[in-house]
Chain A
Amino acid sequence: AEYRGYNHQLEQESTKYFIPSSLPLEVANKVEEHGQPRYLEDEGFYVGEKPVVLQQNKNILESRLLKHGGSDWFGPDGQVDLLPNPVTEAPTKPWVDSVDELDPCIETTYVKARGTAVEDKYFPGSDENELQIDIGTIIFQHHPLMSREHVLVSDITKMYDEYRIIRHKNYITFYTDKLAALRNAAATLKETLDETTMTEGGAQRTHINDFTAEIRRTTQQLASAESAERDMMRRIIEVWGDIKSIREKQGYNNTSVKLVVKREEQDVHHWELEVENQVSERKEEYDVTIAIAHQEEVRKYQVQLQEWKQNRLKLKRIRKKMQRGSQENLLDPNSEVEEEELNIAGNIDKPQKPDKPAPFDKDAVRNDVMNQLLANRRNPGETKHSCILPCLGPILSTMNFPRLFNGREVFLTDPKTLTSDFKLNFGSIFRVRIAQWPESLKVRVIILKVQPRLGDILDQTGSPCLFCVVLYGFLCDPKLMLQWYKIQKSLPHCHQPDCLVTRTLISSIFLTIPPTTVHSGNVRLGPTEFLSTRVESFNHEGVGSNTPFTLRPNDASPTSINTKGVIISSVSWSLDQDGRVLAPKGFVERDDPISGGNPLKINDPVIAIGAEGLQDPESLTKWVKESRLDPNDPENAALVPFMQGIKDGEGFPFAQDYFRLEQLQEEFNFLTDEEFSHLNRLRLLQLRDKEVAEFRNISMIPCNEHEITESAFTTYERRLKEKDSLQSIDTKGLEGGALSAHRVEVLRFRQKVKDAVLHRFYTSRHHHTLQDMVHEEQIPDIGTLGSSMAKIVEPRRPLKPIRKTRKKATSQNLNEGSVKILINVVRGYNIPTRQSAHAHQQNRRGATLEPNSKSFLVSPFVAASFQDTVVTTSVAQGPNPSWNEELQLPFSAPNNDYSSSNLQKVDDVLFIHLFDRCLGISLKYLRRFSVIFMQKLKVTEDATPTDTEDPTTIVTRLQNYWLGSFKLPFSTVYQRGKIDGTFKIKVPPVLLGYDLERQVGYEHRMESQFMQQSSGTFLTIFVTLEPVLKPMDPPRYNYFESQEDTELLAKCAVFMADCNKRYPTRNVKTTVIDIKGESVLITRFIRALPPPPELIEGLNPGSKEATEKLARFVSLIPFVSDNVTYAGICDLWSTCDQFMQMLCGDEEEHAILLLNFFLHLGKQAYLVLGAAVPEGNTAYVLTLDQTARDYTIWNASTGQQYFKGDPHTPLQSVGALVNDKNIWFNVQRQAMPIRMHFDVTRPADWKPFFGATATPLPSIQPESIYFPPTDQSYVSNLVDVIERTLKDCYFVFLNKIIFDRIVSWRPRHITRWNRSGNSILRQIAKGLEESITKNDGRGIEHNTQILSQLGDVRFTGYPMDQPFTNVESIVSAVRSTEVHKIQDPDVEFSMAVHIHAYPSSVLAVWVYVAAIVN
């Protein structure tokens, strides 16, 4: 390319580039047509506040705009046309969901809250403000029902009223007196004028002139007043004549008006004197006005004439001179000028001589005056009128008054019947309590026309008319409204049951709202006129309204009259009993003298602009329209609504200065709300949308309303009803009857919490994160990269089995029967062994115990039951059997809905029972062959029928004896996927006919360290689901609100992240969710709480007994998994008082309660967060002795305790320890409790959350819990009695049910009850609760006790204990033990139920069941 040089480049650029100047531009360029700028502001227009823009930038912008030729960007003032500042004056508060979701783009600033105009309309102490509206009378000046006579009468009445007013004012006398006085004054003045010299005459004369003028004016006024009066009288008489003629014509009187004309004599002398006076006055006047004026004119004329003559002389001289001069110097330019002058002078006219005025013609004047007087003044004589109004006539009408108050009907007068004088006397006073400034007060006159039904013979003239007046307004006392509605509804029915009622509005009148100084004590009734232009015509005498009619028979053109009348009313503020004015206070003491009296000023735009007393918004609108205000000026903002006029006639024309949401909604509604609520289809759709359980998965909702039956809602409504009335115990039958008042409370509370929690989570469930929506590979870090690298070089181990994760089934593919529960029963330990009854008896009798009397071992097998299906393993032998069998149980989800949210709610429990199968030999035969058989039994451990010598007579039965059971909630299996471990079987403390391992174990298994450490029976099982169901995702915690400090929450997050990084599998929590759905720091849950005093009464607080008793108490509170309670939403932690109130909870609630009790006892205790079998992540309680070497782990929900070194501790790993001060995360290598150190002061083992110096945070737990029937000394005797009867109820009740049930379970057999056994068992059962807490070995004693009392029997039985939840669960627990399946015909049953009541309705239910074979 060619080099062009720098200058060339600049040149080129200057043509291409434009650099806008930042200097101010010349104004002339910017203004249209280069004229001068106009400043609208100076001309009085409102321009608004412009936003602030840097002048430099503005200049640049302007020059850029100008460059592109856009002069229309500029306003007439030469500035860029900027819109006014869009920032509103009033700050608003934006809606913020949560702190995290604040839009970073929006800057928010804090502005102190301030009141708005809307609020100003309300005043404090609103109930103190009372308006009193007095509706006095309505007088109709015209009414459609009036006959012609009425019309005339009303005319005459009106005229008479006017006449009376005139008479009352008495103008004539006034003017006459004035005239006389003036004349006197004028006469005296004249006299003095004559006496005095002419020197001062000038002033005097003008005075006289003034007087004459005044006299003349007064004379005229007098004349007109007199003529008016005469006219009035004449018209009255005329109308009276018409009335008389009408009355004559129709032959009856409709009205009672009578005109009386009074005559008054007047002397003629007075009359003549008056004429004389007037004539002389006229003469004088003439002298003054006409003659003097004439003289003046003549004088002027003479002066002018003189001037004219002089001019003329002068002109003549000039003309002569000119004639000479023109000849001498023709070319002189001056000559022309002179000629002109001359011409002008010559043109002046000769002044006219003024005409001489006509001389004063006395006779003509006299005649004139006479005529005038005759015309204006009455002839000698005077008339008087009087009206009398009696009641008569067939017209029957009723009337009442609705009134309007700020556009709302607030009150209605009683209907009043219209009487024939068309006057309605209401005399009703309304009191309206107002909370807001009334903006208008409108009275409506309404006719209620009651028409007879078809066929009724009722003269239309006689059809009654009802008139109503309703007060419209707003914010009045709702009671008033109610009252009014009652009236409105009752009116047509109560008065005229068989008639059609039509309501027609005649007219509306606006009343003035009085200043606060006007109260009912000083107010006066005042008239207000009203008018209606409604057209009404009748075919009877009634003349109608706004319809033409001929009033008089000889009238040429018909007249038409509108309905009109006067309402006499008053509005004032009420007075209370002490005579205080019930007007809004605080407004009266205003400094501003103008608005001080009227508080409306600040609120009411109308009054604010000075149009005080203008209470009629409609006329105001008109005024605003006509006055052409500047709508842009904020000063006028309040009036802008009026400029648009009234939108709809009926509505209140004030557009309020606040925003009304959906104000047009009404017009778009095509159904009323009530009709909407009756639409079944819509309701169905709405319920489905809300995911109400009954409707969640409904599909194909019918598309026609009629296809949906009411039955679709029955289950839902029943549920709602149940929720509402949990206390109606009777409906719930027997079980309901068992509920004590406290339990009902609990149920209701639980339901309430559940509803609230569900609602809270409903929204949080619809939050999504990126992970929910998008699959994205995580960024590989060095570790994962390294391990994947290492995988390549890893040696191959083809023989090592590789675990494969099973595929998780999606809920869509599942159906009935495709899901199974797999239970792998591996082995059992320490199963109780059978003891021979005879061996025992021998034992007792001979007192020699054979060392190996363990000859009666057991043949245990495991039965798993779930959802009414039972599967069993094969029978194994011995107390430590090994089955290694897999059991399959079918699982069916409720409603066949396998979605995770539904599965979460399954509250079925998997029971694993341990049974002993033995051969029961019918004792009928046994007795016969007793000797042989006993020998046989002694020799062979396992007698079979084939072994016996006599196969024909010996009958044996396979019998299953329950040894113990173990419960596994389905929700646990579902949540954890698999459960694998060794579990302690819950074996009853007394098992009749069996030896618990305790007795057997010592001698033979002493060497086994395993058994030395732990007592009890164990089963090793593995439970899982096939296929694996996908558990529900836990809710995300970051969506929960929190009352905690944000710093603390951040610290929690850091701590959690750190812990999870080091040991991801260990269970640790810093914050948990309380039942309000807010996250709370876990330490706040821990606080020493005093246990029920009855429990530790008389016990050493530190003793083992006390702790065990507390553990027992806590474990008796029913256990319900949060997953079940809260529909799988999440793990909620409730405080101890809530827990005691709900009387159910899962591990952590139990653990916290127990821990808090322990802390109260002064123990060193911690909450253990860890993983256990079968629960998974759970909470246990750890107590330490002083040296922190010996420890005990408590499972609070079962009450079990595990000592140091117990290999069967269900706690598998410890994640963290918590107490009220701190959280310690386990950073030891090992998480198994046996291999751990529990000294939290060692930082190498435990990582604390707070530093050593941190002060503990305040707890959310209450200081103490009230345990309802706690201290006997506090609770009165009465309560005690009630408690006891309730317990009795339970007792009787339970007994009955279980008896019945056992009978019904044995359909083919007669069930015999051993009564004596019952009573014995009852005695024992009572002592059992104590024995279990005292932990003494009374079990054996029971055995002996029973056996000794019943004699030679074979005995099977056991006591069961469980926390009381409901009767059904107890029944099913008893049933599952299969005692009733003993089919020996000789069997007899014994049973006893005992309930041990702890405080707070915590109940331990003992059921002692025994089968006795004689």
Chain B
Amino acid sequence: MAGINPNPTVFLLMANGQIESAVFPDFDELYCKFSFVHGQDWVVTSGLEEGISQITRRSRDERQLFVWNFPLDITYKSTNPYGWPQLVVSCYGPDVFGRDIVRGYGAIHIPMTPGKHKVKVPMFVPVSSSKLQQITSWLLGRRPEFVDPKVVAQGEGRDVTRVRSQGYAMVSFNIVTRDLKKLGYDLSPSDVTSIPLSSTVIS
């Protein structure tokens, strides 16, 4: 079959899915931002790297869900699994005075194995460094925020922060990879015997 390179130099990773919902007790309205963070050897070939969702209200039933169903669709090209892309989700919502306040940060690696995945992203926010600051930040509506939401996808500098967990978001992914195995990266679980190599089978 034409277009299939028997000796690939890159592998492709396609992830689509959605940020389905979130559970955040005590809040009424929320919206979320997402961004993908990836290493130096990764290039986005198509899709959106960042996005911001609509504001959603908590469901009125006992599940108390915030449903966004916000689609994600991204395709990566890469030469190196180092720096595997991560999805960084940050949630914001207005407080009682209508001020926009950060409600949670969370990050998760895009699943590596092909197939459908549903992941739960725990969310957390940085806490004020003192009680007094907590009060003033509450009064002024300026809660501590990360300088860059992407820091939650890195390890560096996290040791100086203090965070509190706030809830979680549910994200579903459908993963398709190509040429990974040809390049020597066997990501399929051991019980899956093999993914048919299209070039040999079809031609």
A350 to B79, CA, bound (A): 112
A698 to B78, CA, bound (A): 13
Chain A residues lying within 8 Å of B147, measured Cβ to Cβ, are 772-775
Minimum Cβ distance to chain B for residue A791 (Å): 16
Instruction: Determine whether A770 belongs to the interface, using a CB cutoff of 8 Å to chain B.
Output: yes
Minimum Cβ distance to chain A for residue B73 (Å): 22
Instruction: Determine whether B59 belongs to the interface, using a CB cutoff of 8 Å to chain A.
Output: no
B40 A707 Cβ-Cβ under 8 A: no
A770 B151 Cβ-Cβ under 8 A: no
Minimum Cβ distance to chain B for residue A182 (Å): 88
A701 B144 Cβ-Cβ under 8 A: no
- Could you give, for residues 769-786 of chain A, a 1 whenever the CB lies within 8 Å of some chain B CB and a 0 otherwise? 110111111011000000
Instruction: Determine whether B165 belongs to the interface, using a CB cutoff of 8 Å to chain A.
Output: no
Indicate which residue in A697, A698, A700, A775 contacts B144 across the interface (CB closer than 8 Å): A775
A703 to B10, CA, bound (A): 7
Minimum Cβ distance to chain A for residue B6 (Å): 13
Chain A residues lying within 8 Å of B79, measured Cβ to Cβ, are 700-703
A775 to B144, CA, bound (A): 5
Quick check: which of B28-36, B89-97, B110-118, B127-135 contacts chain A, the rest being far away? B127-135
Q: Which residues between 725 and 775 of chain A lie within 8 Å of chain B, taking CB atoms?
A: 766, 768-770, 772-775
Chain B residues lying within 8 Å of A261, measured Cβ to Cβ, are none
A776 B82 Cβ-Cβ under 8 A: no
Q: Could you list 29 examples of A-B contacts with CB < 8 Å?
A: A685-B82, A699-B42, A700-B40, A700-B78, A701-B40, A703-B183, A704-B183, A707-B9, A768-B156, A768-B157, A768-B159, A770-B160, A773-B151, A773-B157, A773-B160, A773-B161, A774-B144, A774-B146, A774-B161, A775-B145, A776-B128, A776-B133, A776-B137, A776-B144, A776-B145, A777-B136, A777-B137, A777-B140, A779-B132
A775 B137 Cβ-Cβ under 8 A: no
Chain A residues lying within 8 Å of B183, measured Cβ to Cβ, are 703-704
Known: A704-B9, A774-B146, A779-B130. 14 other contacts (CB 8 A): A688-B40, A699-B42, A700-B10, A700-B40, A700-B41, A703-B10, A770-B129, A773-B126, A773-B147, A773-B157, A774-B144, A777-B140, A779-B132, A780-B136
B41 A699 Cβ-Cβ under 8 A: yes
A769 to B156, CA, bound (A): 11
Chain A residues lying within 8 Å of B137, measured Cβ to Cβ, are 776-777
A701 to B183, CA, bound (A): 14
A1217 to B161, CA, bound (A): 39
Q: Which residues between 763 and 817 of chain A lie within 8 Å of chain B, taking CB atoms?
A: 766, 768-770, 772-777, 779-780
Chain B residues lying within 8 Å of A768, measured Cβ to Cβ, are 156-157, 159-160
A707 to B79, CA, bound (A): 11
Instruction: Determine whether B158 belongs to the interface, using a CB cutoff of 8 Å to chain A.
Output: yes
- Could you give, for residues 31-75 of chain B, a 1 whenever the CB lies within 8 Å of some chain A CB and a 0 otherwise? 000000000111100000000000000000000000000000000
Smallest CB gap from B40: residue in A: A699
A792 to B159, CA, bound (A): 41
Give the 5 A-B residue pairs with the shortest CB-CB distance, closest first: A768-B157, A703-B79, A776-B144, A777-B142, A699-B40
A interface list, Cβ under 8 A from B: 685, 688, 697-704, 707, 766, 768-770, 772-777, 779-780
B157 A776 Cβ-Cβ under 8 A: no
B41 A701 Cβ-Cβ under 8 A: yes
A773 B80 Cβ-Cβ under 8 A: no
Chain B residues lying within 8 Å of A766, measured Cβ to Cβ, are 156
Chain A residues lying within 8 Å of B42, measured Cβ to Cβ, are 699
Instruction: Determine whether B173 belongs to the interface, using a CB cutoff of 8 Å to chain A.
Output: no
B9 A703 Cβ-Cβ under 8 A: yes
A316 to B156, CA, bound (A): 117
Most buried by A among B126, B133, B160: B160
A685 B80 Cβ-Cβ under 8 A: yes
Instruction: Determine whether B124 belongs to the interface, using a CB cutoff of 8 Å to chain A.
Output: no
Chain B residues lying within 8 Å of A698, measured Cβ to Cβ, are 40
Most buried by B among A697, A773, A780: A773
Minimum Cβ distance to chain A for residue B50 (Å): 13
> A698-B40, A700-B41, A703-B11 known; A774 and B82 CB under 8 Å?
no
Chain A residues lying within 8 Å of B132, measured Cβ to Cβ, are 779
Chain A residues lying within 8 Å of B161, measured Cβ to Cβ, are 770, 773-774
Chain A residues lying within 8 Å of B159, measured Cβ to Cβ, are 768
> A770-B129, A775-B144, A776-B129 known; A701 and B9 CB under 8 Å?
no
Chain A residues lying within 8 Å of B78, measured Cβ to Cβ, are 700
Smallest CB gap from A772: residue in B: B157
Minimum Cβ distance to chain A for residue B145 (Å): 5
B80 A779 Cβ-Cβ under 8 A: no
A775 to B145, CA, bound (A): 5
Minimum Cβ distance to chain B for residue A1168 (Å): 37
A884 to B11, CA, bound (A): 59
Minimum Cβ distance to chain B for residue A693 (Å): 15
- Could you give, for residues 158-185 of chain B, a 1 whenever the CB lies within 8 Å of some chain A CB and a 0 otherwise? 1111000000000000000000000100
Chain B residues lying within 8 Å of A780, measured Cβ to Cβ, are 136
A704 to B132, CA, bound (A): 56
Minimum Cβ distance to chain A for residue B174 (Å): 24
A766 to B41, CA, bound (A): 22
Most buried by A among B78, B79, B133, B151: B79
> A685-B80, A701-B80 known; A777 and B133 CB under 8 Å?
yes
B144 A702 Cβ-Cβ under 8 A: no
Smallest CB gap from B179: residue in A: A703
Minimum Cβ distance to chain B for residue A762 (Å): 13
Chain A residues lying within 8 Å of B146, measured Cβ to Cβ, are 773-775
Chain B residues lying within 8 Å of A685, measured Cβ to Cβ, are 80, 82
A703 to B11, CA, bound (A): 9
Minimum Cβ distance to chain B for residue A641 (Å): 37
